[in-house]
C-alpha cells in the first residue's frame, strides 16, 4: 500500500516523486500495489503499463455536501472533493467560500504556464525525457517492496 506519496512537498516535487515511484514499481518490482494519490496525472500510467489500472471510491454530492459510498469503481476519479472534505471536517464557511473563489481563479488561470520551474540545487543538467538514465541511476528498491 502506497498512500499519498509526495504529500507534504511542493506540488511538482510530490508529483515527480509519486510518478517515478509508481513507474518503478510497475516496471521493476512488478509487485501488486495499491497506490492511493490525489495526483490526477498518474491516471495516465495505464496507457504505458497494461498491468496498471485506475480505480476510485464513489461519492454522491448533495448540494455543497458529499457522502462517500466507500464502493470501488473502475476508472479514475472525475474530480477532487477536497473542499467538501474540508467542510465535513468543520472548516468555517467563510474559509470554504474563500477557497472556492480561489479554486475557480486557479482553474481559470491554470493554462497560464508562466511560472518559473522549481530549481534543484543538487541536480545535474539532464534531458527530462531520458527515463532510462534516471532508472539506471536509481538505487535498488528495499527488499520489502520486492515481494508480490
Average confidence score pLDDT of the chain: 80
In a domain, 95, yes or no: no
Q: What is the reported pLDDT for 135?
A: 54
pLDDT band at 62 (very low <50, low <70, confident <90, very high): confident
CA gap 83, 81 in Å, rounded:
6
Per residue in 99-142, pLDDT tens? 999 999 988 887 665 554 544 544 555 555 555 545 544 444 44
In a domain, 103, yes or no: no
Per residue in 77-104, pLDDT tens? 888 888 988 999 999 999 999 999 999 9
pLDDT band at 23 (very low <50, low <70, confident <90, very high): very high
In a domain, 141, yes or no: yes
Q: What is the reported pLDDT for 114?
A: 55
Cell representation of residue 64: 455543497
Cell representation of residue 93: 464557511
Q: What is the reported pLDDT for 47?
A: 95
Q: Which domain holds residue 68?
A: 2-78+130-146
Our count of domains for the chain comes to 1
> What percentage of the chain has pLDDT greater than the value 90?
44
In a domain, 15, yes or no: yes
Q: What share of the chain is helix, strand, coil (3-state, %, to 5)?
A: 45, 15, 45
In a domain, 17, yes or no: yes
In a domain, 111, yes or no: no
CA gap 62, 93 in Å, rounded:
17
In a domain, 57, yes or no: yes
**Which CATH number does the domain housing residue 16 bear?**
3.40.50.300
Q: Distance of CA 74 to CAs 45, 58, 70, 77, Å? A: 15, 10, 13, 9
In a domain, 91, yes or no: no
Amino acid at each position: 500500500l502506497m498512500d499519498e506519496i509526495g504529500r507534504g512537498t511542493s506540488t511538482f516535487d510530490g508529483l515527480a516523486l509519486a510518478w517515478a515511484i509508481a513507474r518503478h514499481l510497475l516496471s521493476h518490482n512488478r509487485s501488486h500495489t495499491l497506490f492511493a494519490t490525489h495526483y490526477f496525472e498518474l491516471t495516465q500510467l495505464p496507457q504505458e503499463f497494461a498491468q496498471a489500472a485506475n480505480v476510485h471510491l464513489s461519492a454522491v454530492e448533495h448540494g455543497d455536501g458529499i457522502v462517500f459510498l466507500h464502493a470501488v469503481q473502475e476508472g479514475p476519479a472525475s474530480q477532487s472533493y477536497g473542499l467538501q472534505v474540508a467542510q465535513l471536517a468543520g472548516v468555517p464557511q467563510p474559509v470554504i467560500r474563500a477557497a472556492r473563489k480561489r479554486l475557480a481563479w486557479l482553474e481559470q488561470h491554470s493554462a497560464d504556464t508562466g511560472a518559473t520551474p522549481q530549481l534543484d540545487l543538487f541536480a545535474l543538467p539532464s534531458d527530462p525525457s531520458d527515463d532510462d538514465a534516471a532508472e539506471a541511476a536509481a538505487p535498488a528498491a528495499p527488499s520489502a517492496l520486492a515481494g508480490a
